[in-house]
């Protein structure tokens, strides 16, 4: 499991850190009855022989059944109301997750779970705004509500998630609590952007909006 990164979101040309928390079969064989003529002289010949046991059929090792689970890296995210944005892989550099510069795009942390995985968080982060590009796609997270449905797609595959929590947390709180970004718990989708108040003297927003959503059935 990769260590969880610090997520960097450029908003109004300021860097905002999101501290984050990244399983022999033996074949049996029968034995023939001894030949009385071959018995040693000082031993009485056997008067009867036990019937030879039926041969034991060799155990068969079958090939495992092919998995029907669908897993994929999201290439698009669709929010309630139908608005969608491209999703690009976001790498960690020196322990920091750097999301796409374009505020109309969002980034999937390449150390997080894929959509459809049995466990772990699928983490997608994006900018809330930009001094040059205006509002970002994830500004919509500020109006998302519990019970809303979010869909992620890649080609013909899709996975749907129902929002379970929407929280605005201090950056330090996200840094010290890895529950949203855990990779060893139940599967979930986590969407992150900046939130709270913008403080130019501190280099950006003072909080983060964190949306957590649970899968609505398996990915397909």
The phi, psi pair for 6, rounded to 5°, reads -90, 130
pLDDT at 36: 38
- In whole numbers, what is the pLDDT of the chain averaged over residues? 76
Neighbours of 150 (CB within 10 A): 21
pLDDT at 219: 87
The neighbouring-strand residues paired with 153 are 76, 158
User: What is the dihedral angle through the alpha carbons of 117, 144, 196, 100, rounded to the nearest 10 degrees?
Assistant: 50
pLDDT tens digits, 174-191: 666 667 778 888 999 999
Asked whether 192 and 144 are in contact (CB, 8 A), the reply is no
Domains, the chain, ordered by start: 6-20+70-215 (2.40.260.10)
- CB crowding 135-145: b at 16 or more within 10 Å, else e: ebbbbbbeebe
pLDDT tens digits, 117-170: 999 999 999 999 888 888 999 999 999 999 999 999 999 999 999 999 999 988
- Cα-based angle 67, 22, 14 (whole degrees, multiple of 5): 135
Asked whether 90 and 74 are in contact (CB, 8 A), the reply is no
pLDDT at 91: 86
The total number of residues written for the chain in this structure: 220
pLDDT tens digits, 22-36: 322 222 223 333 343
pLDDT score of 68 more than 80: no
Based on its alpha-carbon atoms, the radius of gyration of the chain, rounded to whole angstroms, reads: 30
Asked whether 71 and 219 are in contact (CB, 8 A), the reply is yes
Asked whether 91 and 1 are in contact (CB, 8 A), the reply is no
Q: What is the DSSP string of 145-173?
A: -TT-EEEEEETTEEEEEEEEEEEEEEHHH
User: Whole-structure pTM over 0.75, yes or no?
Assistant: no
How many Å apart are CA 127 and CA 141, to the nearest integer? 11
pLDDT tens digits, 39-55: 344 444 444 555 555 55
Which of 132, 114, 106, 96 lies closest to 12, judged by CA?
Answer: 132
């Amino acid at each position: 499991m990769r260590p969880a990164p610090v997520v960097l979101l450029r908003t109004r040309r300021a860097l905002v850190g999101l501290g984050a928390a990244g399983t022999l079969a033996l074949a049996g064989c029968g034995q023939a009855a001894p030949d009385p003529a071959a018995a040693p002289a000082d031993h009485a010949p056997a008067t009867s022989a036990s019937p030879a046991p039926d041969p034991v059929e060799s155990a068969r090792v079958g090939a495992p059944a092919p998995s029907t689970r669908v897993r994929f890296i999201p290439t698009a995210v669709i929010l309630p109301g139908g608005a969608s944005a491209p999703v690009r892989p976001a790498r960690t550099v020196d322990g920091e997750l750097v999301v796409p510069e374009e505020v109309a795009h969002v980034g999937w942390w390449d150390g997080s779970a894929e959509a459809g995985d049995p466990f772990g968080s699928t983490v997608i982060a994006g900018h809330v705004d930009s001094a040059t590009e205006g509002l970002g796609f994830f500004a919509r997270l500020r109006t998302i509500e519990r019970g809303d449905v979010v869909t992620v797609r890649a080609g013909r595959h899709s996975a749907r998630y129902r929002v379970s929590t929407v929280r605005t947390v201090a950056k330090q709180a996200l840094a010290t609590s890895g529950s949203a970004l855990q990779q060893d718990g139940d599967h979930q989708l986590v969407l992150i952007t900046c939130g709270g108040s913008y403080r130019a003297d501190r280099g950006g927003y003072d909080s983060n909006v964190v949306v957590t959503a649970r899968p609505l059935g398996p990915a397909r």
